[in-house]
Structure 1
Amino acid sequence: MGEESKPSGPDLTKGVSLDQFKDGKLLGHVGEEDILLVQAGSEIFAIEPSCSHYHGPLAEGLVVGDTIRCPWHHACFSLRTGEATRPPALNALAVWEVTRDQDRISVQRKREMPQPAASHRSAPTPEKFVIVGGGAAGFAAAETLRREGFAGTITMLSDDGAMPVDRPNLSKDYLAGNAPEDWLPLRGEDYYQDAGIDLRLSTNVAAIDPKARIVTLGSGDKLPFDRLLLATGAEPVKLQIPGADQPHVHTLRTVADSREIIKAAGSAKRALVIGASFIGLEVAASLRARKLEVHVVAPEQRPMQRVLGAEMGDFVRALHEDNGVHFHLEDTVEKLEGKRATLKSGSVIEADLVVVGIGVRPRLVLAEQAGLAIDRGVSVNEYLETSASGIFAAGDIARWPDPHSGQDIRVEHWVVAERQGQAAARNMLGRRERFDAVPFFWSQHYDVPINYVGHAESFDDIAIDGSIDGRDCLLKYRKGGRVLAVASIYRDLDSLKAELDMERSRT
């Protein structure tokens, strides 16, 4: 990080020529500030060079029209205004004024940051909006409503005790000890007060009455609404074996969960992770970073095979084994007696910390009780509206018509939830905006990131370009000859292009 004090590239106040650009981009500086020049068609733009999410290098990103997409986690920014137009980035980037004198390009002055856009409402907007859920979708919706100029009341009800946080960090850098806790909140406490968002933490919702337009809280209080967003998310599947309720047995979903695991890891020597899911293996990697001995027990022949296929599954296993993880595959834990875990195979593992990662299930009770249409999730239309007018759903609970696969799908991933929250917010304002984003998620295992775009519930074959073992590959998951999803390791630009191809081939 010490190199950040040294500006990059040429001094843009002195001017540069187009032939200095590489692939339409040039990294330079004005004073001590680094700036990325981007050629988009006949125009040249100047923007901050690092994504406002995890500081991904935009110079390695993809220019689409007058936007640029981050190579790491597929955030998108307007080159004209710097506005973050797609999650996971939420904060705008600075932009500079560009001067052209024939073929000479120079940058002198930073533009003022754009103000929140005026609302696009074409009709009077109801005044009372309620959001049930304090995760990615709920927060993104609340933030978008204010960004779009909504001036009515926003009440956000969360049964969590913590403000909305960057949940992917809970199993990755924060759990590994590489990120401080103050990185976790998506916004500081002052934001909610300044934005006029009534965020109520540790608040349970008992019932929703779609006809009367009333939310009943666990306390008995009643809250009227004109528009409602259900974003109740998912909860970890609980282990149903003897001993699973012991205090050293944990699941991971909330900040409190992550804190408890970190505290337990401080005195633990050996950890048992039950389940070879993305969360389970990210936890395994994080606990190895804390120098614990880690054992993973899972019924699969290979980790992640159902989603990523056999060859990628073998690679993931080998990667974790190279980092000291012990696998017990095609096996299950039958009982936990104190710190003693007995496996179906007869093996015994002594572990003073157990983390269960065997999947999550959508929290559908409120939707079911309210009489909303349910199909392995809350059924929504292309505008994310449920079967009850004025009630929308987003995030892990929502099953929506996916224009790429031509099927109704439900996806339990962070970026999808954020993007749905934003789309739902605009539709609560009457925008009638179809949700047609291509699903995207990423997973981090030690120094290896795995990016995945699209959605393949099943596939016939996998076309592999490059080398999985060489950590330089692009995998296309096909069914009936059609590419439904693409996974990649260190093929960031190809991953962005695959996402764009999917957007352009919607059914």
Structure 2
Amino acid sequence: MAEDQAPPSGPDLAQGVDPGAFKDGKLVGHVGDREILLIRDGTEIFAIDAHCSHYHGPLADGLVVDGAVRCPWHHACFDLRTGEAIRAPAFNALDVWEVEQRDGLIFVRGQRERPAAKVAKPDHPENIVIVGGGAAGFAAAEMLRRQDYKGGIVILSSDDAAPVDRPNLSKDYLAGSAPEDWLPLRPDDFYQQAGIDLRLRTTVTAIDPKARQLTTTGGGIGYDRLLLATGAEPVRLPIPGANLPHVHTLRTLADCRAIIDAARTAQRAVVVGASFIGLEVAASLRARGIEVHVVAPESRPMERILGAEMGDFVRALHEEHGVIFHLEDTVAAIGERKVTLGSGGSLEADFVVFGVGVKPRLELAEKAGLTIDRGVLVNEFLETSVPGIYAAGDIVRWPDPHAAENIRVEHWVVAQRQGQVAARNMLGHREKYDAVPFFWSQHYDVPINYVGHALKWDQIEVEGSVADRDCLLRYKHQGRVLAVSSIYRDIDHLKAEVAMERAVAS
């Protein structure tokens, strides 16, 4: 064990533990230097790694549902019998151990062998092409191989870098508290070893659905099944100076590196927009000691998504850390060292970051004749209006059973889970995409979790205290809970997610 590593927690499970030591059906212990979580689920007891394989969240604080444990931080989910990561944002499986009960004690023995991969349906296609190297595209490719799909997989990505953990680009990595080697979703050699042909810096210019052919900047390519996961692109306001070299957006690793380079010698920055991305960027730049001004037209940040009380809290939190807001104002023009406001004032700025939202990349789908309705319209199986072409991620508008309408959501976990479901359906399964939308945002040391989808509400029910950073907010319309946000109420938030799932299932 490394000298700076803390010793494992709890009792030595190899020596046996009293069943009375369980708390809420869980017990953290260890075998050697491995921390292990014992879970009692009904009459059975399982032993599994104690920490989530995504961001190392403590599964002892999670929720056990239907033979699986859900992570309290970002709602990843693991099968208790196999350790498989059955819901993004985690992809790596956890180890599981044999459990023995004798002489009134519970013992953990050796690790269980990983079960064989699930076998794809025998009518699987020979060649699957994925357009887009973001969350949905990567998740689909990874799931195809996890399903023991033996055919060809090609990912066509316009990015310069292999798929990365995009949420980190506005959070820890931008703040300087996470190294760059944490960012790749898989090591560089994963794609070759998994037989995934990842083609970077490749743009798809046309789809011929009848011939099942794509035209790309690198030539033509055929497909048997196609997944469109083209994602979204950041919006630049149509104002003078928006395209100057020191004006940035944040979507890719290259974008993030450019902002970090600008911050090395800068003293002041202006963030345009009080969106989640804009305010996460503001927090990260404050961590680097940059003076940050946020300009936004709304009267309070994120009120449209989180409501007035949470919006006021977010503003106060950022002001505590030195962010200066210019709300109910706009940016009229950007100069070399100055930002002119719509109100007539001006701000000094060494660089500027736009955080005013994104727009889905729909041009390719439109040109191919796919049905478009403020997004690529898909059915409950994520198949588009053209058989054999599926879509996932930021471009998709799908029939959400929770909202009881077609919705489009621009969030990382949603895109990953859609990619996973689309992958299984491209192999011939008929799995409905019915996951409750989930996202998280981080502001300094305060995480905000959100599950559901509420474009409007007539009541916000607050449990706990927003000001004390201990709260659960329910967004209701005509008495029905549409969404729930929370700060440090992880288990309650997981329970809210399960309640939404079961409301639809019933």
* TM-score normalised according to structure 1 size: 0.98
> 1:2, 1:391 → 2: CA distance?
53
Structure 1 SS opposite 2:473: strand
Output aligned runs, 1:266-277, within 5 Å.
266-277=264-275
**Offset, 1:245:** 1.2
Q: Which structure 1 segments of 5+ residues have no match?
A: none
Residue of 320, 323, 348 corresponding to 1:322: 320
**Offset, 1:386:** 0.1
What's the counterpart of residue 180 of structure 2?
181
What's the counterpart of residue 500 of structure 2?
502
Residue of 215, 220, 223 corresponding to 1:222: 220
Contact kept, 8 Å, 1:5 with 1:32, in 2: the verdict is: no
> 1:56, 1:7 → 2: CA distance?
15
Output aligned runs, 1:451-470, within 5 Å.
451-470=449-468
What's the counterpart of residue 191 of structure 1?
190
What's the counterpart of residue 351 of structure 1?
349
What's the counterpart of residue 137 of structure 1?
136
> 2:356, 2:175 → 1: CA distance?
20
What's the counterpart of residue 81 of structure 2?
80
* TM-score normalised according to structure 2 size: 0.98
Are positions 1:52 and 2:50 aligned together? no
* Identity %, equivalent residues: 68
Worse overlay, 5-14 or 439-448: 5-14
What's the counterpart of residue 117 of structure 2?
116
Q: Provide the aligned length of Structure 1 versus Structure 2.
A: 504
What code does the residue aligned with 1:16 have?
V
What's the counterpart of residue 7 of structure 1?
8
Structure 1 SS opposite 2:27: strand
> 2:323, 2:377 → 1: CA distance?
40
Structure 1 SS opposite 2:186: coil
What's the counterpart of residue 22 of structure 1?
23
> 1:401, 1:139 → 2: CA distance?
23
What's the counterpart of residue 105 of structure 1?
106
What code does the residue aligned with 1:159 have?
S
- Please list the CA deviations of residues 273-319 of structure 1 after superposition, one character each: whole Å capped at 9, or x if unmatched: 00000000000000000000000000000000000000000000000
Structure 1 SS opposite 2:189: helix
**Offset, 1:2:** 6.8
**Offset, 1:3:** 6.8
> 2:27, 2:457 → 1: CA distance?
40
Contact kept, 8 Å, 2:123 with 2:428, in 1: the verdict is: no
What's the counterpart of residue 213 of structure 1?
212
Output aligned runs, 1:143-292, within 5 Å.
143-219=142-218, 221-292=219-290
Worse overlay, 369-378 or 29-38: 29-38
* Root-mean-square deviation over aligned CA pairs: 1.1
- Please list the CA deviations of residues 178-235 of structure 1 after superposition, one character each: whole Å capped at 9, or x if unmatched: 110011010111110011000000001010011110011124x211111000000000
> 1:52, 1:319 → 2: CA distance?
30
Output aligned runs, 1:356-367, within 5 Å.
356-367=354-365
Structure 1 SS opposite 2:281: helix
> 2:25, 2:495 → 1: CA distance?
16
Contact kept, 8 Å, 2:123 with 2:427, in 1: the verdict is: no
Contact kept, 8 Å, 1:98 with 1:108, in 2: the verdict is: yes
- Please list the CA deviations of residues 443-502 of structure 1 after superposition, one character each: whole Å capped at 9, or x if unmatched: 000000000000011111100000000000000001111100000000000000000000
Worse overlay, 243-252 or 278-287: 243-252
What's the counterpart of residue 95 of structure 1?
96
Output aligned runs, 1:376-395, within 5 Å.
376-395=374-393
> 1:360, 1:215 → 2: CA distance?
25
What code does the residue aligned with 1:389 have?
P
What code does the residue aligned with 1:106 have?
F
Are positions 1:427 and 2:428 aligned together? no
What code does the residue aligned with 2:317 have?
L
- Please list the CA deviations of residues 424-447 of structure 1 after superposition, one character each: whole Å capped at 9, or x if unmatched: 000000100000000000000000
Are positions 1:375 and 2:369 aligned together? no
**Offset, 1:102:** 5.6
> 2:256, 2:62 → 1: CA distance?
32
Contact kept, 8 Å, 1:10 with 1:28, in 2: the verdict is: yes
Q: Which structure 2 segments of 5+ residues have no match?
A: none
> 1:3, 1:418 → 2: CA distance?
34
What's the counterpart of residue 67 of structure 1?
68
What's the counterpart of residue 335 of structure 1?
333
> 2:6, 2:114 → 1: CA distance?
23
- Please list the CA deviations of residues 31-83 of structure 1 after superposition, one character each: whole Å capped at 9, or x if unmatched: 11111100011000001100000000000000002100000000000111111
> 2:6, 2:398 → 1: CA distance?
46
Are positions 1:442 and 2:428 aligned together? no
Output aligned runs, 1:479-498, within 5 Å.
479-498=477-496
- Please list the CA deviations of residues 80-133 of structure 1 after superposition, one character each: whole Å capped at 9, or x if unmatched: 1111000000000111110011631001211233443222x1x42220110000
